[in-house]
Amino acid sequence: MSRRVVVTGIGVVSSLGTGKDEFWKNLIAGKSGISKVESFDTTNYDRHMGGEIKNFNPLKFMEAKETKRMGRASQLALAASELAFLDAKVDYHRINPERSAIILGTTMGESGVFEILNRSWFEKGLDEVDPFLISRNTANLLAVNIGLHYNLAGINLVIPTACAAGNYAIGYGYDLIKEGKIDFALCGGADAFSRIAFCGFARLYAMSPDICQPFDKNRKGMLLGEAAGVLILEAEEIAKKSGLNIYAEILGYGLSCDAQHMTIPSEDGIARCMENALKETNIKPEEVDYISAHGTGTLQNDKNESLAIKRIFGNNYKKVAVSSIKSMLGHCMGAASALEAISCCLAIKEGIIPPTINYQTPDPECDIDCVPNVARKKEVKIVLNNAYAFGGNNACVVFKKYLG
């Protein structure tokens, strides 16, 4: 069986807004979700900025007793799932649980819970550690908690391919529906801000002191963010019969592994990933209208992604629009490519390409069309969503305007 797969619902919780409408309004306005870190004291660090979600109230999306078994990442993921259901106007009771899947990506899992456990052990001793903390700590709970909430007893999986994990989750959901194994999937990614993640990226000297400037000559690094993004994927014939709104069609995806360096992405690996995606979907480079870049704002990532785009698109590389929404959100780790997938779907639906903000000085090594600072109205039919991760896990998902 080979079925068409479409996106019928979108849920997002981010530093740029909660819900599709607020997120998109701020995204195309070029607003920044970056602020001073407030969830812990950064006095002893030389970096103090990040894409934190302020004033998130999980009780708007779940019962109090549920929050007690969840870490923040699970709460964000469940909130995004609830928003996706509301957006799609889908009654989850109508879903056959055995023909469904929940597939989420993450980088850190429930690192915030681990942080609490570790601090409790250090400050009070082992006997004072809450024994239930360990049952809230494992990464698989991001998907498990959603399954428990909605009583969806089908495939339940977390994919931990770090900063490309959202794309991997969408790709696997696409495969399952296309092959007729399921009809419905909640796919995306979630990661919460934590001292552990902040400390790790700070020690890599990868973080900017103030703003994220992808593709700018004077870029100083990435900024850490937190978010959850969930997309509802359905078989096209079922969505069409049900009269559901369809944002976009997923044509397929490409994967590659650099097998080269733990933190520096490879031009060859990025190029092979896009090449595999185009080959899988029978799309020619000249048909691509927009690339949602991984675009972290680090020196090597942006340089190598630009070189890979030039390799794939040849002399026409300046004709394809490329932007990085990480300039506004920071790097939301396992949620990053899920949010970018949502942005791709909305760009197709609305005919607007979000900008790369904070762009000031052109870089000859990154001389792509990065849609600097201001959103651009343009009909968008074919989009590539690029995502790369530590260790060289690369994933590129292809979205297409749904034409029936």
Q: Is 246 contained in some domain?
A: no
Q: Is 235 contained in some domain?
A: yes
Instruction: State the distance between the two ends of the chain, measured CA to CA, in whole angstroms.
Output: 19
Domain edge (last residue) among 219, 241, 263: 241
Of the residues 273, 294, 332, 345, which is catalytic?
294
Verify that 189 and 117 share a domain, yes or no: yes
Q: What Å distances lie between residue 248 and 138, 197, 202, 251, CA to CA?
A: 33, 33, 37, 9
Q: Is 256 contained in some domain?
A: yes
Q: Indicate which CATH number applies to the domain containing 72.
A: 3.40.47.10
Q: For residue range 269-327, list pLDDT tens digits in order.
A: 999 999 999 999 999 999 999 999 999 999 999 999 999 999 999 999 999 999 999 99
Domain edge (last residue) among 213, 241, 269: 241
Of the residues 149, 163, 187, 212, which is catalytic?
163
What's the rounded Cα separation, in Å, for the pair 336 and 165?
A: 8
Q: What Å distances lie between residue 340 and 121, 203, 261, CA to CA?
A: 38, 26, 24
Neighbours of 309 (CB within 10 A): 27
Residue among 368, 385, 101, 166 at smallest CA distance from 254:
385
pLDDT of residue 1: 64
pLDDT of residue 93: 78
What's the rounded Cα separation, in Å, for the pair 6 and 134?
A: 37
pTM above 0.85, yes or no: yes
Verify that 85 and 220 share a domain, yes or no: yes
Per-residue DSSP letter, 53: P
Verify that 266 and 362 share a domain, yes or no: yes
Task: Tell me the chain's radius of gyration from C-alpha atoms.
Answer: 20
Whether 163 is catalytic is yes
Verify that 214 and 324 share a domain, yes or no: no
Q: With beta carbons less than 8 A apart as the criterion, state whether 188 and 335 touch.
A: yes
| Domains contained in the chain, number | 2
Angle between helical axes of 72-88 and 141-150 (0-180°, round to 10)? 50
As beta bridge partners, residue 100 has: 184
Verify that 160 and 204 share a domain, yes or no: yes
Verify that 105 and 154 share a domain, yes or no: yes
Both structure tokens of 16 = 């740029």
Q: Is 247 contained in some domain?
A: no
Verify that 226 and 268 share a domain, yes or no: no
Per-residue DSSP letter, 214: T
Q: Is 83 contained in some domain?
A: yes
| Torsion angle of C-alpha atoms 147, 74, 105, 152, degrees rounded to 10 | 10
Q: For residue range 334-348, list pLDDT tens digits in order.
A: 999 999 999 999 999
Question: Max alpha carbon distance in the chain (Å)?
Answer: 65
Verify that 191 and 280 share a domain, yes or no: no
Residue among 324, 159, 325 at smallest CA distance from 253:
159
Verify that 297 and 223 share a domain, yes or no: no
Residue-number span of the structural domain to which 9 is assigned: 5-241
What's the rounded Cα separation, in Å, for the pair 47 and 302?
A: 21
Verify that 83 and 116 share a domain, yes or no: yes
Q: Is 289 contained in some domain?
A: yes
Whether 294 is catalytic is yes
Mean pLDDT for back-to-back runs of 10 residues, the chain (404 residues) = 93 98 98 96 94 96 93 96 95 86 94 71 73 74 95 95 97 98 97 91 91 98 97 96 94 96 90 98 98 97 98 97 98 97 98 98 98 98 96 96 93
pLDDT of residue 160: 96
In sequence order, which ranges of 179-244 are alpha helices (DSSP H)? 195-203, 236-241
Domain edge (last residue) among 241, 260, 283: 241
Whether 212 is catalytic is no
273 CB-near residues (< 8 Å, 6+ apart) = 254, 255, 256, 386, 388, 394, 395, 396
Of the residues 331, 344, 345, 370, which is catalytic?
331
Verify that 208 and 285 share a domain, yes or no: no
What's the rounded Cα separation, in Å, for the pair 345 and 341?
A: 6
Both structure tokens of 325 = 């929404």
Q: With beta carbons less than 8 A apart as the criterion, state whether 195 and 115 touch.
A: yes
Verify that 38 and 98 share a domain, yes or no: yes
pLDDT of residue 135: 67
pLDDT of residue 369: 98
